[in-house]
Structure 1
Amino acid sequence: MENTGSVFNAAQAWIRRRASAFKLFGLGVIALLMLIPIGMVNGTRDERERRFQSAVEDVTRVWGKDETLPGPVLVVPYHYQVHEEVWVESGGMRHKEAQSRTLSAEAYFLPKEMTTSGAIEMSVRKRGIYAADVFTAALTVRGRFARPDFAFTGVENAQPEWGRAWMCVSISDVRRVREASVTWATQHAAVEPWNGAQGWPAGLRSAAPIPEGSGELEFTMALEIDGSGSLMLVPLAEKTTVRLESRWPAPSFCGGYLPTRREVGAGGFSAEWLIGKFAREFPSHWTSLRSVGAPKYGQLEAAAFGVKLAPAVSAYRSIERATKYGLLFVALIFGAFYGFELVCRMRLNALNYLLIGGAICLFFLGLLATAELLPFGAAYAIAAGASTALIAGYSWALLKSGRRAVVVGTLLGAIYGYLFLVLGLEDFALLTGTGALFAIVAVLMWLSRRSVANGYTEGPAPL
């Protein structure tokens, strides 16, 4: 019996000497267990985000989606004579006879210069509790075409049909055009739908009155169009200038060319693109007789540039990032409580940490629920405040001290504030989060430097 008692006492002494290690190991296990409910919250976020995307799809399908505008292009029909010898039969004899045929085709010309200026007005359309950001763009396009020269067609005596010339512009979703007008110099021209050609999507067309012997052709086109997501333009002219402005504070410039000048602030943005002829990857002209040379629509899309008018990081993306930092949340808060144990020479059991972890998981669920109704910052403040109040109130009863509960609440508020800052730092989030882990480990190492195997008898005095 004495041997058994001595073994038992030795085991107890061995465990006491390693109490801190067992404590930390247990906290690590509980922290990892917290990833299960956090993962369930993330699954709920996926389902809610799918519902949000479905609602946005319903709104934008009716209002308008991403808009791409290649054009305008000047189209001039022409005809020409083809002389050939054909076999004919006359009086039972076959012989060759010279004949002439008249064929027709269309020649396409790109502008020499084009300047587009536009204002983009943002608005919100709702489907239930979900909101979709949409825009209405008012564009004014001014440009000029050089006098069409048909020498490139390779046919002799090409006869342009000036009275049938017309100008077209493709629009990815022409049904969303509110208003459109075209003016040649001072002469207004009617605008009508165009079914597209040579693989280009449908759009608008307008008669182009070209008097014989005239020089360059100047035009002005005004266009008002609805859309969502992005507004993209194609640099078809030898010299393309685009100026866009909006009160949208979070633009994302994209496409084949970036702005040469841009200003972005809380009050909106303005941007200007300058694209020369050496950057243009399309021929200046082509004909309907030759498929070679005519730019494919895929080439136009690849060269398009413009601006995306959607939040850089949606609320659901921010919540996803927050759940990815879930283990960091748990580690920081558990670390704060463990440090409190060391400072106050108190002990919290596994149930206490499980309940605290449950309150942390409720923070993520509350953040998801409120972010669907409020801006992300306000939703974060409400969820963090509720979680802090819940844990601080529990600490008041657990630690039997209002002053200690205030300290716990202050620590939690600081942790939630710090993690909100981490979520806002897209480029430096990993570095900042890693720094926080290093800091908390360093603090715990400092607090536990004088702990002994039989408890915290040499720790700091309790609060």
Structure 2
Amino acid sequence: MENQKKSQNNKFWHWLKTSITARLLMVGFLVIMLLIPLSYINTLITERATRQQDVVNEINDKWGQQVLVYGPILKIPYKTYTETKTFNEKTGTYLKQTQTNIKYAYCFPDTLNATSNVSSKTLNRGNFKSAVYSSQMAFNGQFNPIQLEQKDIKDEDVIWDKATVIIKTSNLKGIKNEVRLSMNTNLYDFNTNFNDASNTYNDYLDELESGYISTNDLPKQHSSSFSFNLNFNGSKDIQIIPIGKTTSMTMVSNWPDPSFVGNFLPNSDTKEITKNGFKAQWQVLHINRAFSQQHLNNIPNLNRFAFGTKFMVMVDEYQKSERSAKYGFLVIGLTFLIFFLIQTLSKITIHPFQYIMIGLALVMFYTLLVSISEHSTFLKAYLIAGISVIALISWYAKSILKTLKFSIFIAVSLMALYTFIYVIIQLENYALLVGSIGLFAILACVMFVSRKIDWNNE
């Protein structure tokens, strides 16, 4: 019985050694099995990327979050009247009562000019870093005479002596100066209006409100000029909303890699970007955005009309590592195919265990890539991991294949393959085109080499 089992095992291994189909099935099975450790590598990359984002959020929360500002906005109370009728059963008549209600009109300035000087830097926490900045923002402009008659509000119903100015912002915590509004020649301090729903940058903004504005400073019959400063500690981005009938903004920063975001881009003829920083200018007219200069009762959510600049460290090592790992199946499959063709053409026997060792070495490339890129650039990490794995597999191939020429051929093939993948990762617009051409060339080479194999020799 034991001899029979031994004989069957010998037949199986003899079939595996001599049959091209058996070797091909074995190589395919091993490639599929190595997808399991590759999936763990992808999980590791995702976990590290998530950890990076958590650290960045923690740094930004302590320093200051993203900045969105718009103002000043005149908040003018006015009276409305509600008439009610009450039936008097004794007299059989209706008694009319008029109730006075207080509502508010919100008026935007006619001109709004903003200048922002931004000093950026990076803060590190372990292997991770985040871009933060300190900004000095200066606003000035003017209100033209307010004409609430257009909203069917009579002048005698306007409570001018209770008018205030409000400024909305997303980052009260990051303000580093006392905010004072200069209206004509007078100064007005601001207080915060707590908004229980103002905890989400995308939906709500905190509010600063001044004391009552002197009627002499209000734009009743004449224009009123204004100015105020806001100094912020912030992160990620800085944006304003163009509430002026004509809104202009100039931003100067030492950040060398800005990303202009929002609903409006800076003027292309005034934009300057160098390795020492950038300067950009915007101009937005009221005809460019879909909201009016006056609003009754409340101000709509205007966040989608914001524009400005994003300050972020372009840490794409994890993204590039993830893209590299997606080509893991291709690398393992083509490497095994090279060994299979060498084994088939040269009649050299390669044990399945040796294929597994080669596959695990290829998988180790990605763990080396992720771990080294956290302490260096992606290019250096890719070179170190690639050279290490190629040297290891070439040395191992020398001991398996017993000849130097095959070992050199495998080293050159792996170098070409890793170089090809690196080029694809760096490309954006032409990644698909270059990848398709490269795969076509690889397929042509495989077809050219495999034409000499006698597939009927089983």
TM score, norm. by length of structure 1: 0.78
Does the residue aligned with 2:260 lie in a helix, a strand or coil? strand
Report whether the alignment pairs 1:202 with 2:211: no
Which amino acid counterpart does residue 48 of structure 2 have in structure 1? R
Match of 1:66? Answer: 66
Distance change >3 Å, CA 122–CA 188, structure 1 → 2: farther
- In structure 2, C-alpha distance between the alignment counterparts of 1:143 and 1:422, rounded to whole Å: 50
- In structure 1, C-alpha distance between the alignment counterparts of 2:236 and 2:146, rounded to whole Å: 37
Quick one: percent identity of the two aligned structures?
Answer: 25
Which amino acid counterpart does residue 112 of structure 1 have in structure 2? D
Match of 1:175? Answer: 173
- In structure 1, C-alpha distance between the alignment counterparts of 2:191 and 2:71, rounded to whole Å: 14
TM score, norm. by length of structure 2: 0.78
Does the residue aligned with 1:158 lie in a helix, a strand or coil? helix
The superposition leaves residues 261-303 of structure 1 with CA deviations (integer Å, 9 ceiling, x where unpaired) of 255565555444332212322221234xxx3xx3323xx1222
Report whether the alignment pairs 1:232 with 2:234: no
- In structure 1, C-alpha distance between the alignment counterparts of 2:417 and 2:82, rounded to whole Å: 87
The 5 A counterparts of 1:118-197 are: 118-158=116-156, 165-179=163-177, 181-182=179-180, 184=182, 187=185, 189-195=187-193
Match of 2:441? Answer: 439
User: Conserved in 1, the CA contact under 8 Å of 2:106 and 2:299?
Assistant: no
- In structure 1, C-alpha distance between the alignment counterparts of 2:150 and 2:351, rounded to whole Å: 88
- In structure 1, C-alpha distance between the alignment counterparts of 2:338 and 2:117, rounded to whole Å: 51
The superposition leaves residues 386-411 of structure 1 with CA deviations (integer Å, 9 ceiling, x where unpaired) of 22232233234334455654554343
Match of 1:37? Answer: 37
Cα offset, 1:338, TM superposition: 4.8
User: Conserved in 1, the CA contact under 8 Å of 2:184 and 2:225?
Assistant: no
- In structure 1, C-alpha distance between the alignment counterparts of 2:391 and 2:351, rounded to whole Å: 21
Match of 2:386? Answer: 384
- In structure 1, C-alpha distance between the alignment counterparts of 2:15 and 2:389, rounded to whole Å: 38
User: Conserved in 1, the CA contact under 8 Å of 2:124 and 2:130?
Assistant: yes
Which amino acid counterpart does residue 170 of structure 1 have in structure 2? K
Match of 2:287? Answer: 278
Which amino acid counterpart does residue 281 of structure 1 have in structure 2? A
Match of 1:211? Answer: 217
Report whether the alignment pairs 1:326 with 2:324: no
The 5 A counterparts of 1:202-351 are: 202-206=206-210, 210-211=216-217, 215-261=222-268, 262=271, 268-287=277-296, 291=297, 294-297=298-301, 300-311=302-313, 314-338=316-340, 346=348, 348-351=350-353
Which amino acid counterpart does residue 205 of structure 2 have in structure 1? P
The superposition leaves residues 190-212 of structure 1 with CA deviations (integer Å, 9 ceiling, x where unpaired) of 44332168986323344555437
Distance change >3 Å, CA 201–CA 344, structure 1 → 2: same
Distance change >3 Å, CA 226–CA 334, structure 1 → 2: farther
User: Conserved in 1, the CA contact under 8 Å of 2:17 and 2:23?
Assistant: no
- In structure 1, C-alpha distance between the alignment counterparts of 2:445 and 2:141, rounded to whole Å: 67
Cα offset, 1:109, TM superposition: 1.0
The 5 A counterparts of 1:387-402 are: 387-401=389-403
Match of 1:4? Answer: none
Distance change >3 Å, CA 16–CA 409, structure 1 → 2: closer
User: Conserved in 1, the CA contact under 8 Å of 2:108 and 2:293?
Assistant: yes
Does the residue aligned with 1:40 lie in a helix, a strand or coil? helix
- In structure 1, C-alpha distance between the alignment counterparts of 2:128 and 2:251, rounded to whole Å: 28
Distance change >3 Å, CA 206–CA 335, structure 1 → 2: farther
Cα offset, 1:38, TM superposition: 0.6
Match of 2:8? Answer: none
- In structure 2, C-alpha distance between the alignment counterparts of 1:380 and 1:28, rounded to whole Å: 27
Which amino acid counterpart does residue 244 of structure 1 have in structure 2? M
Distance change >3 Å, CA 449–CA 225, structure 1 → 2: same
User: Which range moved further: 210-219 or 143-152?
Assistant: 210-219
Name the Cα RMSD after superposition.
4.1
Which amino acid counterpart does residue 207 of structure 2 have in structure 1? G
Distance change >3 Å, CA 126–CA 62, structure 1 → 2: same
Distance change >3 Å, CA 103–CA 446, structure 1 → 2: closer
Match of 1:411? Answer: 413
Match of 2:115? Answer: 117
- In structure 2, C-alpha distance between the alignment counterparts of 1:450 and 1:97, rounded to whole Å: 109
User: Conserved in 1, the CA contact under 8 Å of 2:181 and 2:189?
Assistant: no
User: Conserved in 1, the CA contact under 8 Å of 2:121 and 2:131?
Assistant: yes
Match of 2:46? Answer: 46
Does the residue aligned with 1:179 lie in a helix, a strand or coil? coil
The superposition leaves residues 231-271 of structure 1 with CA deviations (integer Å, 9 ceiling, x where unpaired) of 23212122222333444454443333344425556555544
Distance change >3 Å, CA 167–CA 443, structure 1 → 2: same
User: Conserved in 1, the CA contact under 8 Å of 2:254 and 2:276?
Assistant: yes
How many pairs does the alignment contain? 434
Distance change >3 Å, CA 330–CA 259, structure 1 → 2: farther
Does the residue aligned with 1:281 lie in a helix, a strand or coil? coil
User: Which range moved further: 34-43 or 117-126?
Assistant: 117-126
- In structure 1, C-alpha distance between the alignment counterparts of 2:453 and 2:275, rounded to whole Å: 52
User: Conserved in 2, the CA contact under 8 Å of 1:18 and 1:453?
Assistant: no
Distance change >3 Å, CA 268–CA 429, structure 1 → 2: farther
Match of 2:201? Answer: none
Cα offset, 1:22, TM superposition: 4.7
- In structure 1, C-alpha distance between the alignment counterparts of 2:390 and 2:184, rounded to whole Å: 69
- In structure 1, C-alpha distance between the alignment counterparts of 2:392 and 2:404, rounded to whole Å: 14
Match of 1:458? Answer: none
The superposition leaves residues 41-82 of structure 1 with CA deviations (integer Å, 9 ceiling, x where unpaired) of 11222333333333223222222223222322122445x697
Distance change >3 Å, CA 211–CA 23, structure 1 → 2: same
